[in-house]
Amino acid sequence: MVMGNKQEQNQPDAVDTTQSEEFRQFLCFRLGDREFAVDVMNVREIVRASDVAKGNPLEGNPSYDWSHSGKPIKVFDLRAVFHLGEAVLEDSTRVIFVDPDQRHFGMLVDGVSEIVRVKTSQVQESQTASDKMKMVFPEQVSVGGRALLCLDPTQLTTSRQPKDS
């Protein structure tokens, strides 16, 4: 058996970083004819909107106090938030419950389509026109030829809703 020199034997094996690419997963959802995404790390639960008791709209806000599992919870109507009209409750309408930064709330969407897994390197800075929209949609990802804006749910509770989408 031929051994390399002593210096070579003490060197650790080189790590192939091309094989250790990290991935992120996004839940894709629809609002009208547009498709968006939210990082699954923020998603707690997805339920049919008909399974959640709808409450009264909160004054000056596109959100509702709803009841889920016997507990009150704020649900944002994302169609109203992004000025796409008010949601119409259909069989495909869902509430995505998220828990970013320990703030539990729901997002009313027209439908949920899939969970996609993408390489972290494929997640890019958002190319939206306004700074306000970049706060709400800081990232975008291309999936199967579709460019999806990635919603940061923390911005729904910390900033006024954007008017230009």
Angstrom distance (rounded) from CA 88 to CA 70: 23
The answer to which of 69-73, 117-121, 152-156 has the lowest mean pLDDT is: 69-73
Q: Please give the model's pTM, rounded to 2 decimal places.
A: 0.77
Topology of the domain covering 23-158? OB fold (Dihydrolipoamide Acetyltransferase, E2P) (2.40.50)
pLDDT at 149: 93
Helix boundaries (H) for the chain: 6-9, 78-81, 131-136, 154-158
Q: pLDDT digits over 54-113, tens only? A: 766 555 567 777 777 778 888 898 998 888 887 788 899 999 999 887 788 999 999 999
165, pLDDT greater than 50: no
pLDDT at 4: 43
- Nearest CA to 151 among 126, 119, 131, 130? 126
3-state secondary structure of 91: coil
- How does DSSP classify residue 155? H
Judge whether 42 and 138 are in contact, CB under 8 Å.
Answer: no
The answer to which of 29-33, 52-56, 123-127 has the lowest mean pLDDT is: 52-56
Judge whether 163 and 83 are in contact, CB under 8 Å.
Answer: yes
